[in-house]
Amino acid sequence: MDIKKLRDKSVVDLEKHVVDLRKEQFNLRMQRGTGQLAHPHEIKRVRREIARTKTVLGEKK
């Protein structure tokens, strides 16, 4: 998601987005562990998305 779109969201929406991303990250890690991960670059994308979201969340608080 674009940083501009993240800044338009409310604090509650951002917190929910972080939780959803953490679940996605967990699922990707489980897929990697079982050898079923088709797109390894997705792990990096999700990790960066979490960092972006937490940065915006910190700016708002």
DSSP characters over 25-41: HHHHHHHHHHT--S-TH
Please report the pLDDT score of residue 61 as a whole number.
84
Structure tokens at 22: 């953490």
- Written as one letter, the residue type at 9 is K
Average pLDDT over residues 22-40: 96
Query: What SS3 class is residue 9?
Result: coil
Q: What is the pLDDT of residue 1?
A: 77
What is the pLDDT, as a whole number, of residue 20? 98
What stretches of 1-61 show up as alpha helix (H) in DSSP? 3-8, 11-34, 41-60
Question: What distances in angstroms separate CA 47 from CA 11, 51, one per listed residue?
Answer: 19, 6
pTM: 0.91
